[in-house]
Chains A and B, each alone.
Chain A
């Protein structure tokens, strides 16, 4: 049984060596939390189905470095997202912000829901208008 702690330690070490972002953490835990949260929100343009937190493309590394610098410089999250959108467009953000171009993305769910409710209402109304002439006894 003595081997178990050794195996566990090795497992823990292996996951650490697999981390993509090898930079040192911020001293301020709040800054580190902001940093990680932003990384989760930004698409790696080189490998478009990964966030820059998950990607080992060098562009993702460059963007991590820039975001790290901007946080250190005291920029707000909003300013950092602006920086990215100015250069790479809304597509760089996994959650595009509501603006003229992306409005359809934000409104589509509500529009579909309203459309569905309208269709449902039509069907229910039509059925309610039908005469109740079914004979329950005849069913089956």
Chain B
């Protein structure tokens, strides 16, 4: 059983890895996302140049952003920076998961930050999205 430590700057270890659970992308996920960001592009609901509907490229951003919650009790924080590389379209029915690695932590102007690199893959191991994000920790 996983043991959850409190998310503190001291507890974070550069090089540690995070693994999300699996998630099946559903048409409901895509519809909810479209409502949330007010983007109802027809490719998300009908056909697309990729053959069949696709999801918004940033649909799985929160799966990556919440990786640290698989190991830590998180008191929250602020998202400071985000990088994405969109490699393949995300499609409904895909079974996706994200793995990440803490690549840096630093303090600047009295605030503490953690940097995570991630990749999201489908059930075949095909890379869909890569990226990196920086989060400020709440003290």
| A and B: interacting chains | no
Binding site for A on B (CB under 8 A): none
Binding site for B on A (CB under 8 A): none
